[in-house]
Amino acid sequence: MRNPLIPGFHPDPSVCRVGGAYYIATSTFEYLPGIPIYRSTDLVDVELVGHVAVRDGQLGAKGVPTGGGTWAPTIRHHDGRFWLVVPDMLGTGRGNVLFTAEDPAGPWSDGVVMDVVGIDPDIAWDTDGTCYVTMSGLGIDEEDGSMVHRGITQVRFDPETGAALSEPRSLWSGTGGMFPEAPHLYRVGEWWYLMIAEGGTERGHAATVARGRSPEGPFEGSPYNPLVTARGTDNAVQNAGHGDLVQHADGSWSMVLLGTRPRSQTRAFAPMGRETFQTPVTWDAEGWPHAEPVVLDERHAPVERTFAFPAQGPATLDGFPGEVVAVRAFPREVADLEARPGFARIRGAGVGMEDAHPAFLGVRQVTEGATVTVDLDVTDGVGGVSMRYDEGSHLDVEVSGETASMTMTARGLVQTWVHRRTDAGGRVRVRIVADPPEQGRATLGASCDRLTGWVHDGGRWVELGGVDGAFLSSDFTESFTGRVVGPYAREGVVDVAAIEYTGQDVQR
């Protein structure tokens, strides 16, 4: 079984099968384009086919704070259409939004704002056509403005108008773990099953399940809960939870779910954040599901990708590779592909990666060992390559005239290394390398990886400096996203010829 199924920053997966194809949606938070859609025919090879949010107004990501934006989608196929419900929260977010499409590759609708209060909505239909939205009842207290959690709630719902047709009712909210969330409702035989996540999205994360005769309950928890968790184990995949069930054409079942690959002596730091995994599910004679522990596969083929401009391919958007994202902006708003053919021209505004709206294009780190090289022309500007978690945590390799520097920013701590270039030309190659410790060796004191910054100067690669990769992990930054790395411009014009990615997971 392929694991991770979708590597790199791809949390909160939801899946549906239509015929012989599986479609998977994941969260994007403050990045655009929003909500990638992946297609697979075997849950081994997975292809990005498009995004839900590719136009202005579909999401409010441009003004959301870090940690806000778009998360926890649910994708379903019903009555000949694809349906996707998702929270678009905080700041300029629209609230809970329902999108539809005839083709999951797009185009998707502009979205209907849902008159429901909560997060992580699920959408399901009874056999009589009644539509239900089940959600995690997180909201704001009207009296004092404090955050309150009402457990798992549900309303009857009009998917054409977005209106709730009933008052929220409380459903089963788990086994007592914190933050009951990510509900999904399924009909299997004569039973309705309610699967949720609880325990927080950290080391205590878990998926639990209950069932009832009606989609409205009452629900009885499984005596075998949790359905899946990694807490208290030495599993290579931790934080397992927030899953979605899918039945295969042969009648077997599996679950897609999020997890992390933490490293270090205490497995404390996950450099790529929450990724998409899968695990088999079986059903016992009593009608209860059972999930296997999540395990990594044994295949560790190297990854080599070159992202050139303009791009061609099924998921290309406005000439940009589908894997390329920007922060609170679409790539087309950050870079011009027409100003200099064969390049992406980024214009700096006098600010760098510390800004909420950096002039930055990035791709996800998808392997434990990774080298990301950017070919730039900085004749008329200042810029470089950055590995970003958020505006407070990033590693930047920057070129300005005769100077190349590496700066590590970690929640208010800033350190810079400087190198004077012998090659004074504007065309320059810079890179960031993530080097994890060797598996099977004593790792006392070792972190998840070591990050180094490099500049090609004088006919050779020159190391600018190195830092502990733990500073750019989801655990240190307390981020819901993951490492995203690519070129940026601070001042003037920076022309990007290509982003080159090479990497490989550590052999286990």
Closest alpha carbon to 138 in 158, 161, 123, 118: 118
**Residue 62 DSSP one-character state:** G
Q: Profile the chain (508 residues) by mean pLDDT over runs of 10 residues.
A: 95 97 98 98 96 96 89 97 95 93 97 95 97 88 69 96 96 95 97 97 96 97 98 94 97 98 88 97 98 88 94 91 97 98 97 97 97 97 98 97 96 96 92 86 70 96 97 94 98 98 88
Residue 477: which H helix or E strand, with range?
A: helix 474-477
Helix (H, G, I), strand (E, B) or coil at 115: coil
The DSSP output letter for 325 is B
- Residue 475 region by backbone torsions, left for phi larger than 0, else alpha for psi between -120 and 50, else beta: alpha
Please check whether the domain covering 303-504 is classified as CATH 2.60.120.200: yes
Classify the C-alpha dihedral 140-92-68-160 as positive or negative: positive
If we measure between CA atoms, which residue out of 59, 87, 60 comes closest to residue 73? 87
What are the residue numbers of the active site?
12, 181
Side chain identity at residue 74, one-letter code = T
Phi and psi (nearest 5°) for 351?
Answer: -130, 160
Please give the pLDDT value at position 419: 97
Three-class DSSP category at 130? coil
pTM score, two decimals? 0.96
**Residue with structure tokens 């778009």?**
70
Residue whose entry in the numeric block shows the structure tokens 């090879």: 45
Q: Do domains 14-291 and 303-504 have the same CATH topology?
A: no
Helix H or strand E segment including 334: helix 331-334
Over its C-alpha atoms, the chain yields an Rg (Å, rounded) of: 23
Whole-number pLDDT of residue 19? 95
Residue 36 has φ and ψ, to the nearest 5°, of -70, 150
Q: Give CA–CA dist 271/505, Å, rounded.
A: 12
DSSP alpha helices (H): ranges in 41-170? none
C-alpha dist (Å) from residue 409 to 9, 269, 387, 393, 472 = 20, 17, 10, 5, 9
**Residue 359, CB-side half-sphere exposure with 13 Å CA sphere:** 25
* Secondary-structure percent of the chain, ordered helix, strand, coil, rounded to 5: 5, 50, 45
Lookup: tokens for 37: 């859609």
The helix (run of H) or strand (run of E) holding residue 137 is strand 131-140
- Distance in angstroms (rounded) separating the CA atoms of residues 337 and 255: 40
Q: Any idea where the domains of the chain sit in the sequence? A: 14-291, 303-504
pLDDT value at residue 442: 45
Query: What's 14-291's CATH class?
Result: mainly beta
Tokens of 159: 């998917």
